[in-house]
Amino acid sequence: MSHADVTAKPETGCMCWGMYLEGCRWDHDAHRLAESAPKKLFVDLPLLHLVPEAERATPECGIYDCPVYKVQSRTGTLSTTGHSTNFVMWLELPSVYEQDAWIKAGVACHLALRY
Amino acid sequence: MVSRKQLKIFVEDYAEVPYKVLNYVGAEVNYGGRVTDDKDSRLITTILRTYVCPEVMQDGHKLSASGIYQIIPPGDKEDYLEYIRGLPLNPEPEAFGLHENAEITTSQNETVVLLENVLAMQPRASSGSGRTREEIIGDMARNLQDKTPGTFDLEAVSKAYPTSYEESMNTVLFQECVRYNRLLAEMARSLAAVQKALVGEVVMSEDLEKMADAIFDNQVPPTWTATGFLSLKPLASWIQDCNARIDFLREWIARGTPSVYWISGFFFPQAFLTGTL
């Protein structure tokens, strides 16, 4: 399903799209992260449905805490509001591997690429 | 140094080797104090965990997938030197826990830096034949001016999408419009100014000079970067991106709150996320 197929607003939360995944690949069948395919540096992250939930407990395993940045440089300065100029948020992506593997591979999401 | 001293203390004072403590002290205390980014410190913790764990006491324990890097059986100095000499000169990305694709990224980045340097060394004087540099920049500036969208009518936006408790997205939209307006106004002002300066109607200031150079080199002018959204794109794709972002907001204003958001279209996505969550 792509962003163009969405016709109605979800009841809670919101749908958004436009992220690129670096350092790994999205397995569309299993709905989780997988090793990159050769020569594919960036892949589109599928449509996201963000649902707010009060006092949610963070899952201990089965996820990778993926940082989301605006651009690929991955550096930013903190502004007075406490937000980074580049870092946007943490995104919990489902994965069967340990987090360590993805952390070492430097997996991250970007909102915009270099070109 | 400090970590080595601590290692000695811990090994001598405890019956079992406290790997967990060693990890914490090494990553969070000794190195962590200098690292300001929480993502970096997470990486350090993870990397250290591969080397400081009970398994490193076993011979042949593999530190990387291919097994080139492994724990070798104890021997004398020559044996260790021999092993180190056998390591590859140009290590594969796996030595750092990365996928082979990482090598492509590194090469690409190197290429970009190299080409940027070459570009910076291009002669600035115009050559004898054909169009002059000034003419080319003038044409490009005119072209950009045509592509620059008009500013948003803030009053109309705030009337149609007033700040309300029920719809937090209205505030997000209004603030985004204010941010983009600032950029669009700067683009319109500087583009008009640079064209005048090129034909000599106004004085060519340092800012305008830099801007002309940037346009000629297909780079985003510095004053736009300062007021604009964070981007690494060259000017040609930057202006396309800018137009796509403005269109996204215009669509929103014209057709009401969208059912699916293009998160890359926001100047400040954090505000959007605060608005939704």
The secondary structure of B152-205 as a DSSP string is P-HHHHHHHS---SS-THHHHHHHHHHHHHHHHHHHHHHHHHHHHHHHTSS---
Residue B111 is predicted with a pLDDT of 92
Q: What value, to the nearest 5°, has the Cα angle with vertex A82 and ends A80 and A86?
A: 100
- Do A13 and B276 count as a contact with CB atoms less than 8 A apart? yes
- Do A16 and B261 count as a contact with CB atoms less than 8 A apart? yes
The conformation of residue B48, written as its DSSP 8-state character, comes to H
CA-nearest residue to B267 within chain A is A70
ipTM above threshold 0.85: no
- Do B260 and A16 count as a contact with CB atoms less than 8 A apart? yes
Residue B128 is predicted with a pLDDT of 59
Query: Contacts of residue A113 in chain B, CB cutoff 8 Å?
Result: 232-233
Q: Look at the block and give the residue holding tokens 């006092």.
A: A55
Say which of A14, A86, A89 has its CB closest to residue B261. Answer: A14
Closest of A38, A54, A43 to residue A93, by C-alpha: A43
A56 interfaces chain B, CB cutoff of 8 Å: no
Q: Are A95 and A102 contacting, i.e. CB atoms less than 8 angstroms apart?
A: yes
CB B161: neighbour CB atoms within 10 A? 20
Indicate the burial class of B166 (C-beta count within 10 angstroms; 0-12, 13-18, 19 or more).
exposed
HSE of B35 in the Cβ direction (CA atoms, 13 Å)?
16
Domains detected in chain B: 2-96 (1.10.8.720), 133-276 (1.20.1270.280)
Q: Which CATH number fits domain A12-51+59-110: 3.20.20.220, 3.40.50.960, 1.25.40.80, 3.10.490.20?
A: 3.10.490.20
A104 interfaces chain B, CB cutoff of 8 Å: yes
Residue B76 is predicted with a pLDDT of 85
Query: Contacts of residue A9 in chain B, CB cutoff 8 Å?
Result: 257, 259
Domain borders along chain A are: 12-51+59-110
Closest of B12, B23, B9, B97 to residue B54, by C-alpha: B23
- Give the minimum alpha-carbon distance from A27 to chain B in angstroms, rounded to a whole number: 16
Residues of chain B with confidence (pLDDT) below 70: 1, 124-129, 277
A17 interfaces chain B, CB cutoff of 8 Å: yes
**A–B CB contacts, 8 A cutoff, strictly below:** 114
Closest of B33, B189, B212, B92 to residue B140, by C-alpha: B212
User: How would you write chain A as a 3-class SS string?
Assistant: CCHHHCCCCCCCCEEEECCEEECCEEECCCCEEECCCCCCCEEECCCEEECCCCCCCCCCCCEEEEEEECCCCCCCCECCCCCECCEEEEEEEECCCCHHHHHHHCCEEECCCCC
- Give the minimum alpha-carbon distance from B277 to chain A in angstroms, rounded to a whole number: 5
Query: Contacts of residue A48 in chain B, CB cutoff 8 Å?
Result: 263
Q: Look at the block and give the residue holding tokens 């683009």.
A: B187
pLDDT (tens, 9 = 90+) of chain A, 115 residues, equals 677 777 777 778 788 888 898 888 888 888 888 888 887 888 888 888 888 887 777 777 788 888 898 888 888 777 777 778 888 888 888 888 888 888 888 888 988 887 7
The span from the CA of A113 to the CA of B232, in Å, is 7
Residue B162 is predicted with a pLDDT of 84
A63 interfaces chain B, CB cutoff of 8 Å: no
- Do B273 and A101 count as a contact with CB atoms less than 8 A apart? no
- Give the minimum alpha-carbon distance from A44 to chain B in angstroms, rounded to a whole number: 12
Residue A25 is predicted with a pLDDT of 86
- Do A35 and B234 count as a contact with CB atoms less than 8 A apart? no
Residue B114 is predicted with a pLDDT of 93
Q: CA B154, B156, B161, B163 torsion: positive or negative?
A: positive
Query: Contacts of residue B112 in chain A, CB cutoff 8 Å?
Result: 114
- How much helix, strand and coil, in percent to the nearest 5, is found in chain B? 65, 0, 35
Closest of B88, B90, B98 to residue B64, by C-alpha: B98
Residue B129 is predicted with a pLDDT of 64
The span from the CA of B145 to the CA of B135, in Å, is 15
Closest of B108, B120, B105 to residue B218, by C-alpha: B120
